[in-house]
Amino acid sequence: MSTTSQKHANFVAEPMGEKEVTECAGIGPTYAKRLEEKGFTKAYQLLAQYLLFTKDEEMFQEWLKDEISMKGKHLKDCSTCISEWSRAFM
């Protein structure tokens, strides 16, 4: 398993609750603003989108690319974070 950030570890360590999208690894102020413009302010909304793609990380990543132009490490960090959270809590 690859090394994860402290932000990632914190995110997957506890239930979703009312976490902001910025608490998800890979999402900083720029991507958070883009998500907010699309109506996504809470991490559970990202989780819902991931679930709509039947937990398919590749499809979720394509959606992030298309919707908010997410790229590179941020893209991988975000999808891995959501994916690992779902495996831990669902």
Q: What is the CATH number of the domain that holds 24?
A: 1.10.150.40
- What is the tally of structural domains in the chain? 1
User: Do 23 and 31 form a contact (C-beta atoms < 8 A)?
Assistant: no
> d(Cα 15, Cα 66) in Å, to the nearest integer?
28
Q: Which residue reads 């690319």 in tokens?
A: 65
Q: Which domain holds residue 63?
A: 6-89
15 within a domain of the structure (yes/no): yes
Confidence band, pLDDT 50/70/90 cuts, at residue 1: very low
Does residue 1 lie within any of the structural domains? no
Burial of 73 (0-12, 13-18, 19+ CB in 10 A): exposed
Residue 37 lies in a domain: yes
Residue 73 forms part of a structural domain: yes
Residue 18 CA, distance from chain mean position: 14
Name which of 1-10, 50-59, 80-89 the model is least confident about: 1-10
Q: Could you give the CA distance from residue 88 to residue 54 in angstroms, rounded to a whole number? A: 16
Q: What does pLDDT average to over the chain?
A: 95
Residue 27 domain-assigned (yes or no): yes
pTM comes to 0.92
Determine, yes or no, domain membership for 34.
Answer: yes
Each residue's pLDDT tens digit, 24-38:
999 999 999 999 999
